[in-house]
Amino acid sequence: MSLLSPSLEAFWAVVQKGTVLEAAKMVDLTQTGVTQRIRSLEKQLGVTLFTRSRKGMRLTSEGESLLRYVQAARDLEGETLSTLGGKKITVQEICISGSSALMRSRIIPKASGVMKKYSQLRVRFDLSDSESVIGKLKSGFAQIGALPVNQVGKELDSKTLSPERYYLFASTAWKKRKLEDIFAKESIVDFDPNDNVTLDLLKKYKITKISKHRHYANNIDALASLVVDGVGFSALTEEFARPFVKSGSLFCLSPEMHLDSAVALAWYPRSEMPPYFKSLLEALTKKS
């Protein structure tokens, strides 16, 4: 049972699936039926909710606003039905999006306790390194995002987390080499050409004699593997690199050199915050 109107159910299905075809399967309608309900909803509201393209359906700014309402309604739905009918709270789904390193070292471990507490909660962890976390919040794909502080918009609620601290790491096979030699001769391994964390860290300490060669791996595990194998050195967060240092496969080139990156947890405001959502935010923002 759903307390949402059929038109809002169709709207929610399109948001979740991205295409009318998949949305139709979700709500057990024909594609024409879903399209008619969306058009009816747009006519009632006097706005366009989606832009249509070959890649699927994307929310307009008005569609994003309606999505906030639908999410809030769904949050309260389970508790309302439980109160009215004495039934167990229905399954609640939530997606948390953020960078691989931050999600693996901090977000996932902190969320696990909340997941055990709420048996009806289903969490999707979206390790998003190449796509915009803020975009996923706006589209409704994610309900909580871990992202750089400077990307948090005024329309979002947020809380600043402890900063990610980056150090330079390299293969332990290089331990006896001088830093100047490593910086001048060895390649840098970064996520992609737009990833300037390693360069910014070197620049902070006025290190200019560096190799111009850079390798790229847009997967944190692949990147770390290249550094372990001695292909190059890279700036990694202290939290992510810790197990590699403990195992003896990586070492910190200079404990005195570091770069802090301010990060925050962000979400769209909710008039009524469900207990599971509040518990997640408290756990994820709690200082270790």
- Is the model more confident about 217 or about 88? 217
Q: What pLDDT is stored for residue 87 in this prediction?
A: 53
Q: What pLDDT is stored for residue 64 in this prediction?
A: 85
DSSP string, 155-214: TSEEEEPPPEEEEEEEEGGGTTS-HHHHHHHSEEEESSTT--HHHHHHHHTT-------E
Query: From start to end of 72-120, where are the E strands?
Result: 92-98
The alpha carbon dihedral of 230, 148, 74, 44 has a sign of: negative
With cut-offs at 50, 70 and 90, classify the pLDDT of residue 83.
low
Q: What pLDDT is stored for residue 79 in this prediction?
A: 60
With cut-offs at 50, 70 and 90, classify the pLDDT of residue 270.
confident
131 has a pLDDT exceeding 80: no
**Closest to 110 (Cα-Cα) out of 69, 36, 161, 35:** 161
Burial class of residue 12, CB neighbours in 10 A (0-12, 13-18, 19+): buried
Percent of the chain beyond pLDDT 70?
A: 93
Q: What is the pLDDT of residues 244-261, one digit of tens each?
A: 999 999 999 999 999 999
81 has a pLDDT exceeding 70: no
Name the helix (H) or strand (E) containing 111: helix 108-117
Q: What is the pLDDT of residues 108-119, one digit of tens each?
A: 999 999 999 988
Q: What is the pLDDT of residues 195-243, one digit of tens each?
A: 999 999 999 999 999 988 999 999 999 999 999 999 999 999 999 999 9
Name the helix (H) or strand (E) containing 31: helix 31-45
281 has a pLDDT exceeding 90: yes
Question: Using CA atoms, how far apart are residues 262 and 174, in angstroms rounded to an integer?
Answer: 30
Burial 261-280 (b: 16+ CB within 10 A, else e): bebbbbbbebeeebebbebb
262 has a pLDDT exceeding 70: yes
> And the tokens for 159?
């809380």
In order of start, what are the domains of the chain with their CATH numbers? 1-63 (1.10.10.10), 91-160+262-288 (3.40.190.10), 164-261 (3.40.190.10)
Mean per-residue pLDDT over the chain, rounded: 88
Task: Report residue 260 CA to chain centroid gap.
Answer: 19
82 has a pLDDT exceeding 60: no
Exposure on the CB side of residue 171, measured as CA atoms within 13 A: 16
37 has a pLDDT exceeding 80: yes
Q: For residue 66, what are the contacts with CB-CB under 8 A and spacing of at least 6?
A: 11, 45, 49
Q: What is the mean pLDDT of residues 172-178?
A: 96
> And the tokens for 137?
């919040």
